Each structure stands twice: as C-alpha cells, then as structure tokens.
Structure 1
Amino acid sequence: MTPRLDDLVPATLRRRWAADGTCPDLDLYALFRTRRLADPDRVAVIDAAGEVTYAELDRLARSAAAGLRGLGVCEGDVVGVQLPNGRDAVVADLALAALGAVALPFPAGRGVAEAASLLGRSGARAVVAAVEYRGSAHARELVAAAGDLPGLRVVIAAGPQEPPPGSVDWGQVLSADGGAFVPARPDPDGAARILVSSGSESEPKMVAYSHNALAGGRGNFMATLLPGGGTPRCLFLVPLASAFGSNGTAVTLARHGGTLVLLEHFSPRAALAAIREHRPTHVLAVPTMIRMMLDQPDAGPAPSMTALVLGGAELDAATAAEAGTAFGCPVINLYGSADGVNCHSGFRPASAGDGGPGVVVGLPDPRVAEIRIAAPPDGERFGEIIARGPMTPMCYVGAPELNRRYRTGDGWVRTGDLGVIDADGRLRLMGRLKHVVIRGGANISPAEVERALADHPGVREVVCLGVPDQVMGERLAACVVPRPGHTPDLPGLSAHLLRRGVERGKHPERLLLVRQVPLTPAGKPDRDALRALLLGGRRETP
C-alpha cells in the first residue's frame, strides 16, 4: 500500500508561489509537451545510441505510458526505476509523469536488499530495472525478491539482453500504441517523484517532491546558472536517478527546453571525450570526478563552458582554481540535499582572503529556498540551518518519525547542519552535524579537518571519517589521494594541521592512501567502502 504523501508546506504558500510565477503550475509532462510543440526537432537527449529529438522522445514516452497503463499502472501509483543514464531512463521519467504516477528512481548498481527496501517501504506497484548493469542482474534479482513485496505487481526488464522469466520486456512496453494515449492532468502540487537520500539513517530516506517543487523550485536553481536566459546543454556525470540528477528530465528538459548529454557510466576519459565532442554548456558532477579528470595525462584544454556545477561535497579552493583554468569556466559548488536545501556561490567566487568563519556558501535565493538559522543551543556559537521555499519537498515517505525529526509544523526543513548568515547576507557553513566523530567524548568535525588538509601540497583529495576504537570509542582516519610524486604521512599531515591552527586532538590517527576515492552508485564518496578498507587493516592500495 502506498503511504500517504502529505504536503507539510502550507498550501497557501504553494498557491502564492504559483500565482506570482515562481512555479509554472503545470505537471511535468504538460510542461515537457509545451517544449516539444515549440521545437519538435530540437535534440533532447544524446547518449551512446545517438541523438533523440523532442518529437521522438515524446513519441517514445507516450508509447511507454500506454504500455504501462496496459500493465495496470494508474495515477498515483509509485513505480521504481533502476536504469543507468540513457534515453530509457528519460522515457520512463516522462511516461510516469504522463500517467500521473510517482517515479521512484534509484541508481543502477545498488544492491537488491536496498532496492527491495525502497520498493517495499514506498508501496511501489511496478519497477523498471536493467537486465544487466556492470555485472549486476537487477531485473532477475527483483523478480526473485518480488515474493516478499506484496504490493509489487510487475518487474519490467530493460536492455538488449534477454529479459528474465517472470518479467515483462521493456521493448514490449514501448511497442504500445501511444497515438490514442490521453495523459493524466495531476495536481501540480501533487507528488511527481521520490528522491532517495543516503543521509545518516540506517536505511536510505525517501523524500516526495511535487511537480512544482521540481520544475519550479529546482528549475529556478538552474535558471540562476543560465546567464541571459539561454538554453542549457547539460552533461550529467551523476546518475539521473540520484537527487542531484533530478535536475535532468524535470528541469533541463521540461522546465528549460534544453539537451541532456548522458554517459551510462562515469570514467574520466569518457567524460573528457564527451565534453570535447558534445560541447555542453554545463557539466554536473561531484568533486571527485573533476579531480579524476584533471589527473588524466591527456586532459589538455577543454572547450569553454558556462559552468561546472558540483554537488555532494566541498571542493577545495586550489582544485577549483585548477578546474576553472582547465575548463575555462566558473566552478560552482552547490550546498544542497534531497531533504530540501539549496544554496550556491553563483558565478562570483568568494573574496580572496575572506577571514570570516566557516565556508562561504552563497546568497540564499528565496525563489529556490529561503534559508534561516535557528537559535543556537546554550553555549553554542552557531545555529542549525533550516530551509523552506518553492523547492521544499512534501514529506518523507513512509517515515513519520523523520517528518517529526526534520520538519517543523509550518513546513521548514531542519538540515542538521550548523551555519550562520553573515553581515552580507551570505550563508556560511560551519559543520555538518550528521558527520561527527566522537573521540573520547570530544566531537570532531571531519569536514573541518578535510578543509584544512585540502591545501596540503601532497594531497589531491581527502575524505575523513571515524573508525571504531575500543579505548576512545572512535578515532579519526584520513583517506588521501596523493598528488603525483608525493607520499603523505601522518606526521606531515599533523604538522600541516598545526600550522593551520587545528588543535592536536582533532588530528587523524589513521591514514589510508588510495589511488582514487571510491564512489557510491549515486556518485558520492563511498565512506562505507573506505571504512571497510581501514577496518581490514589496509594501509595503501597497490
């Protein structure tokens, strides 16, 4: 049974944002359809199979919608989507929007236990999954798991391989006649998509977003990155099925009429080749991907772009400057999450030598999300960052305890992060409360230590995390990608931290040297994989 998806933002605010034009007040398929009618021959998607125009994409989406309706998918149903980046993922997005169903995308590569948890807790009625992705047989595994998911009616298998027994072929769904299909007209303030957030919970959080929150709030974020109101041509190196990837179909296509350039799987060489061949205006990635691209021996100058847009983690100033030079464009580091917060520096970098506290994030944009600082607890200098605005999600899915913990009675989102608004109105991030290492009763912010180590001459990238310890409870470990020709060690890192004014009690006590930081299927640093290497006694990759 699908859980109730109540909107915790007051309806009067939602209607005000629609009335004043902040949100388009159209469902996602209707918004996409206006783009298709205005410019049917414009290229909508570029993937490994070639180009797809808006007219061709619409035809595929309508056929898929008709085929899904024939399988019993109805308005309001939740449908899982576990597909790699490519046209099929975009078609599924648009088809579900046309049906008035609620899409639940999650990245290809995630294991069946997590997939089954998401599908079960959301009450999903169907799932579209890859037959095979990089050694994982997602469709076959989900068919096997379906017996424990009483709400799941059908597993649809996509890909060139033979679909497993018990599934329905995606090709069969696409073969339906979409000519007579009549799209639903769902409430623009109703649920359109469930974003999956890794967060800090034992299971991934699911966050329901409306059509207006995606195309309006998140669409307004993208609009701030389009100088002169141009049309975006976005290379997505992050999965479309991630929270960051929700800026794909709903925002780049439906809201802004742009083009998606998609790679099924990230590699630094393939990403650089795509930039040179397809000349995107924007590249959406995580900092680790950019570091890997910069370290390619044949990286060379790239065609100039409007912006590199990075999320998921902070990018140190030295690497940002290097990337700006290499790619000939501003580097925009986004502070945001699926939970409903968004702020970035825009095209103006922070002032050199800024002596203020924390990290300058940027000026909050009320057309995206208004940001405030809650009153700090006794004895604390900084308060919790809270946000509410057009992009604020409706609610957590199937988790009333998370709604009680992270949402206020009038719809504000508690981020769990510490910050301050400075005299210039800029948000400064002081620390992420969800990632705290407790060593002998003392709290250590890994983000603070990462920032201090980022400008060490031998460090290309660093991720700090806690590892269990029988004496101290936890100890801080630094996982470091060295710069070429350097081999950092703990004494050298500690000396650097002392010069940066970081007290000795916050210094790392374990060091892991790696050639590259492993990424989760969503494209973020895989802290669990790094912790497993540390707990396994591994000190350095071969």
Structure 2
Amino acid sequence: MTVDLHDLLPAELRRTWAVDGTCPDLDLYSLYRAHQVADLHRTAVIDAKGKLCYTALDRKARCLAAGLSGLGIRAGDVVGIQLPNARGAVIADLALAALGAIALPFPVGRGTNEAASLLRRAEAVAVIAATEHRGNHHAADLLTLAGELPALRTVIAAGPGAPEGTLAFSALLRTDPTSFKPARPDPDSATRILVSSGSEAEPKMVAYSHNALAGGRGNFLAALMPDSRPPRCLFLVPLASAFGSSGTAVTLARHGGTLVLLDHFTPKAALDALAAHEPTHVLGVPTMIRMMLDRIAEGHHPAVPPPTAVIVGGSPLDEATAEEARRGFGCPVVNLYGSADGVNCHTGLSDPPLRGERPGILAGHPDPLVADIRIAVPGTSELREAPRGSVGEIVARGPMTPLCYVAAPDLDARYRTADGWVRTGDLGLIDDDGNLRIVGRLKDIVIRGGANISPAEVEIELTAHPLVRDVVCVGVPDPLMGERLAACVVPRGEAAPTLEELCAHLDARGLERRKHPERLLLVSELPLTPAGKPDRALLRERCSAQAPWSVAQAV
C-alpha cells in the first residue's frame, strides 16, 4: 500500500467498540464466509441474470481474488470499481475483501476526468470497469488514461467485447481458486473508500475500516430489523455510492441477507422488483420514491406487498412525500440523514411526523451504536458544544466514523478534530426530546446581495404547495446581486404553479421575502447524478440559460 490511510480516531476508542461487541471485529470476507457456511444455499443476489446463492457467489469471489492475486494485487492495494448494480460489483467487493485490498467504487456514468482524478489521488493499481453501460464505454475510456496514472497497472473490462489492452473480467473468474488463501486483515484497517457526491471541486474520498462498515453502518440497518431475520434489500441507489455501501458490507457480510439489484433505476423496474421479490427494505432517494408513487397513482402498477420499511436518504425528505409513501407502500418510511464523511442518524419504524411544529426536519434519535451526534458552535477552531435547542454545526463520532480523507490533509484539518469528531458542515439542533433535526447546510448557502439563503429551508416549504411534486432550489450567478435563487419544480399533475403563486405560498408560511425564489424552472422530472441524487449543477446551468431574471419578488 502506498497511499497513506491513517486513522484519525484515537486507537483506544476504536478498540473499545470491538471489545464491547458494538463492532464484530472481523474482516468483511470472514463475516461473509460465516454466513455462507451457516446457510450454503441462501440467495445472496438477485439481478437481471437471476439468483445467485451464497456458495456460488463465494466461489466466484475466490476465483476473482485468485486471478487478481496472480496479477500482483496485494493486501492494502487500492482497486477502482466502476460497475452497474449487478452481481459483478458484489463479486468484486468480496474478492477485494478476501485479498485484504481496498475497494474504490464509483458509479457508472461518471466522466473520465473525474474517474481519473479518483484513481490518481488514491494511487489505484487496477480498475474494474464495464465495457459498456447505457452508451458509456468505461473500460476503453480508462485505458486511454492509463499512461497518465503512474500507479495504474491494469484495466479489467467487465462485459462482452473487452477492448484490446484490457484484461477480461470473465477470464479472471475462471481462475482456479484452490490454492488461494484469504487474507485476514486487521478489522480496523481500511477496506473501502467512499466517494462523496458533494459540491467540492473534486469529489472527496473517505476511507472506512471493516469495523466501521460492518459495525457502525451495520448497526444502522440492525435497528430497522424488528424480527432479526436476514434482510432482503432492494437497492435503488448505486452500490458504488456512499448510500450503497450498505450493500455488500452490511446486507451480506454483517446480516447474511439478500441484495435485490437493478442495473438502472426506472420507476417501473423498481415496482416490478418490489412485486416479484418482496424485499423487506427498499433504499432510495426522495426523487426515486416520488417517481414510483406517481406510477402507482396513475394506475400503471398493481398493489405491491408492503416491505418492513422504505429507507429514504441522499437528500431532504419532506413530510408530504413521507406520508404519501406510507400510504402507497403500506409501511413505515425511514428518513435517513447521513453522508460519506461519517455521520448517520435516522428515524425509526414508529417515529412521529418529520416536521410538526418544530424547526427543520426530524432525523431521529442519534444512536451511539452508529454515531454519537452533537451540535457545535459554527466557525470555532475548537469544538465547542452549542446550548441544547440552538442551531449549530452537526458533528459526529462513533463506531461508523471513517479513518480519514484520502490524499487530502487539508480536508482532514478542516473536517476532523484532534479527538476524532467529524465536522459535517450541516446545520441542525437537538430538541428537548433528544432528537436531531436538520435545518440546512453551512456551505450550500446562496448569497444574494450579502444575505444568506438556505436552499434546503426553501425546498422544505415549497414541497407543501399542492401543485409541487418535487423541487430543488439552486443559486444562479447574477451581476447585480451576486446570486439569486431559482426554484426547479416538477408540477403535480397538469396544472403548473407560477412563480407568483409559489411566493404567495411562502408568504403564507412565514418565510422572509428575501428568501423567495426569483426564477422558476418547470421540469417534467429532476435529472439525477450517477450517484442517484438530483443534479444541481445541471439544473443551475439550465436556469442560467433562461430569459432574464423576473424581478417581481426581488426585495
């Protein structure tokens, strides 16, 4: 291993969670093997090719691990993965865990320049990429960059027609695994690098240990398993996203469950999978859930069996969508607040409404088995806790806390404290009941004429308008005011709201006029990034290309 992946959490604190049983203190592959031995033929993965049991998946992972070992890939090496949601991605995850190598997954659809940046900064020695997926030819594209990436030795192409100069994933799967002996890495060592889909110039990369994923993140899912039976999780988000890191490491390795995978999200495919495979848990972002609900409401799909829970994360969930999802899916809707940086908090299976009369959105009671959460006074160099009930920056530390940022000492200095707390950059408060409520984001602020506007605050209010199905607010450059706020709205039904109607609605809800949007962009659906979140950058571009600003609400 060449890239430095140090642990910014005190070692004695990390060990405490292993000793007291909060974390399993085993590497991911050993955890997976224990489930495989206990139930040889349990279904591990359901994808477009059908079902794959634990034993068949284990053999494929061992074959790939043996093949990768033959290429000289060793414990501690970083290997990129750019594959769609299917068995290949899970095989790669487990093979790298068996080697003691470090997986660097990133979603299909991400551009070549961004992929090259990730691989370069992580000093990846190899990358496993799709030959073709929805018009993208990732393996061939990455091969053209190999000369610019000094550490990258091998491009492995998954799918038919491996380009010349790459190695075929299918050939590695035919390696004889009999002589392969799995590594037994330290459970507190790095196993996976999560890529943030945030607004940094380059995506942040965050290193996680076996214990942080299977333990901390695994405890999050355990809290939503009322009968402790192995979960059956339908992942609408990419396994290669931070949200999707609960796939192989948590659903399979920690809990011995089943992954139901779609290589590309559509509301029809998601509802078909829900009906055919009856998952216990559905994991998606709010926009995906709204698209599925629209299809149900239009009568295009029959009733689906109710899962244990629909888990919604990635962007703020409003109460209207949560309530509609409760009725549409016939089950509790869990609001998951979390990020790749190292924070997780969620509502339970029987929590009260998200909004109520209190500020912000309910994110549930912080679980110390996942991450302890505090509210700090913003802008202070030393961590100083804010008074109970007051808004401040959310900071987190616990069993799921990552090791460090990858190749980014500046981010370590900015977002991590000397005793291991993670500064999230999010604003929130702890209410009198001990619940975390999310208010906004420190850096997602639109500055209009020197006044700060939180897009999240405006979005929360606009989702309550009867003609608004979905909404994202973005700041658009303006020569006079610096920035102005634009509302990108998916109308509910045929009638579309006007800007004046939206602002009147905000007036009625008591939102200051300086925070009202000054431009309205109507869209049939919100574009999504490869990670499955609303594409704010693209929406910002579309708003910038519109006609000159409306000044009706400029105050």
Quote the offset at 1:200 in angstroms: 2.4
Mapped partners of 2:522, 2:230: distance in 1: 42
Task: Tell me which residue corresponds to 2:377.
Answer: 375
Task: Tell me which residue corresponds to 1:413.
Answer: 422
Match of 1:480, SS state, is strand
**Correspondences of 1:16-27 after superposition (within 5 Å):** 16-27=16-27
Which is further off, 364-373 or 298-307? 298-307
- CA contact 2:216–2:400 (8 Å) conserved in 1: yes
Task: Tell me which residue corresponds to 1:34.
Answer: 34
The runs of 5 or more residues in structure 2 that have no matched partner are: 381-385, 549-555
Mapped partners of 1:192, 1:537: distance in 2: 45
Are residues 1:449 and 2:449 paired?
no
- CA contact 2:280–2:307 (8 Å) conserved in 1: yes
Q: Which amino acid aligns with 1:533?
A: R
Deviation track 1:172-223 (CA, whole Å, cap 9, x = no partner) reads 1111011221000100000000000022210000000000000000000000
Match of 2:322, SS state, is helix
Task: Tell me which residue corresponds to 2:363.
Answer: 361
Are residues 1:432 and 2:434 paired?
no
**Correspondences of 1:199-278 after superposition (within 5 Å):** 199-278=198-277
Mapped partners of 1:426, 1:97: distance in 2: 36
Mapped partners of 2:263, 2:429: distance in 1: 39
Mapped partners of 2:428, 2:112: distance in 1: 37
Going from structure 1 to structure 2, the CA distance change for 1:84 and 1:456 (only over 3 Å counts) comes to same
Task: Tell me which residue corresponds to 1:167.
Answer: 166
Quote the offset at 1:158 in angstroms: 0.1
- CA contact 2:81–2:106 (8 Å) conserved in 1: yes
Mapped partners of 2:322, 2:391: distance in 1: 27
Deviation track 1:382-440 (CA, whole Å, cap 9, x = no partner) reads 22110000000000000000000000000000011111111111111121112100000
- CA contact 1:395–1:403 (8 Å) conserved in 2: yes
Quote the offset at 1:353 in angstroms: 7.3
**Correspondences of 1:487-502 after superposition (within 5 Å):** 487-502=496-511
Task: Tell me which residue corresponds to 1:347.
Answer: 349
- CA contact 1:275–1:303 (8 Å) conserved in 2: yes
Mapped partners of 1:138, 1:388: distance in 2: 36
Going from structure 1 to structure 2, the CA distance change for 1:538 and 1:133 (only over 3 Å counts) comes to farther
Going from structure 1 to structure 2, the CA distance change for 1:528 and 1:376 (only over 3 Å counts) comes to closer
Mapped partners of 1:101, 1:79: distance in 2: 7
Task: Tell me which residue corresponds to 1:111.
Answer: 111
Mapped partners of 2:305, 2:279: distance in 1: 9
Q: Which amino acid aligns with 1:133?
A: H
Task: Tell me which residue corresponds to 1:334.
Answer: 336
Quote the offset at 1:351 in angstroms: 4.7
Mapped partners of 2:75, 2:363: distance in 1: 39
Mapped partners of 1:51, 1:294: distance in 2: 27
Quote the offset at 1:498 in angstroms: 0.1
- CA contact 2:354–2:362 (8 Å) conserved in 1: no
Going from structure 1 to structure 2, the CA distance change for 1:199 and 1:219 (only over 3 Å counts) comes to same
Are residues 1:480 and 2:480 paired?
no
Match of 2:373, SS state, is strand
- CA contact 1:281–1:305 (8 Å) conserved in 2: yes
Q: Which amino acid aligns with 1:534?
A: C
Deviation track 1:12-39 (CA, whole Å, cap 9, x = no partner) reads 0111100000000000000000000000
How many residue pairs get matched?
538
Which is further off, 413-422 or 111-120? 413-422
Match of 2:145, SS state, is helix
Quote the offset at 1:301 in angstroms: 2.1
Q: Which amino acid aligns with 2:325?
A: A
- CA contact 2:82–2:127 (8 Å) conserved in 1: yes
Mapped partners of 1:397, 1:51: distance in 2: 36
Q: Which amino acid aligns with 2:278?
A: R
Mapped partners of 1:132, 1:139: distance in 2: 8
Mapped partners of 1:269, 1:377: distance in 2: 46
Task: Tell me which residue corresponds to 2:310.
Answer: 308
Deviation track 1:227-247 (CA, whole Å, cap 9, x = no partner) reads 021210000010000000000
Task: Tell me which residue corresponds to 1:51.
Answer: 51
Task: Tell me which residue corresponds to 1:284.
Answer: 283
Mapped partners of 2:278, 2:318: distance in 1: 25
Mapped partners of 1:288, 1:478: distance in 2: 15
Match of 1:302, SS state, is coil
Mapped partners of 1:44, 1:486: distance in 2: 45
Mapped partners of 1:80, 1:97: distance in 2: 13
Mapped partners of 2:313, 2:17: distance in 1: 26
Q: Which amino acid aligns with 1:114?
A: E
Match of 1:415, SS state, is strand
Deviation track 1:324-355 (CA, whole Å, cap 9, x = no partner) reads 11111011110100000000111123258732
Deviation track 1:228-267 (CA, whole Å, cap 9, x = no partner) reads 2121000001000000000000000000000000000000
Task: Tell me which residue corresponds to 2:536.
Answer: 527
Match of 2:459, SS state, is helix
Going from structure 1 to structure 2, the CA distance change for 1:525 and 1:2 (only over 3 Å counts) comes to farther
Normalised by the length of structure 2, the TM-score is 0.95
Match of 1:234, SS state, is strand
Mapped partners of 1:93, 1:397: distance in 2: 19
Mapped partners of 2:143, 2:438: distance in 1: 44
Quote the offset at 1:3 in angstroms: 2.0
Are residues 1:464 and 2:466 paired?
no
Mapped partners of 1:47, 1:345: distance in 2: 29
Are residues 1:400 and 2:447 paired?
no
Quote the offset at 1:299 in angstroms: 3.4
Mapped partners of 1:36, 1:186: distance in 2: 19
Mapped partners of 2:139, 2:227: distance in 1: 44
RMSD, matched Cα: 1.4
Quote the offset at 1:320 in angstroms: 1.1
- CA contact 2:318–2:354 (8 Å) conserved in 1: no
Identity of aligned pairs, percent? 66
Going from structure 1 to structure 2, the CA distance change for 1:217 and 1:307 (only over 3 Å counts) comes to same
Mapped partners of 1:3, 1:49: distance in 2: 37
Task: Tell me which residue corresponds to 2:83.
Answer: 83
- CA contact 2:370–2:399 (8 Å) conserved in 1: yes
Q: 1:317 aligns with which of 286, 308, 319?
A: 319
- CA contact 1:449–1:506 (8 Å) conserved in 2: yes
Match of 2:2, SS state, is coil
**Correspondences of 1:42-191 after superposition (within 5 Å):** 42-159=42-159, 161-191=160-190
- CA contact 1:300–1:326 (8 Å) conserved in 2: no
Going from structure 1 to structure 2, the CA distance change for 1:111 and 1:57 (only over 3 Å counts) comes to same
Q: Which amino acid aligns with 1:323?
A: A
Q: Which amino acid aligns with 1:307?
A: A
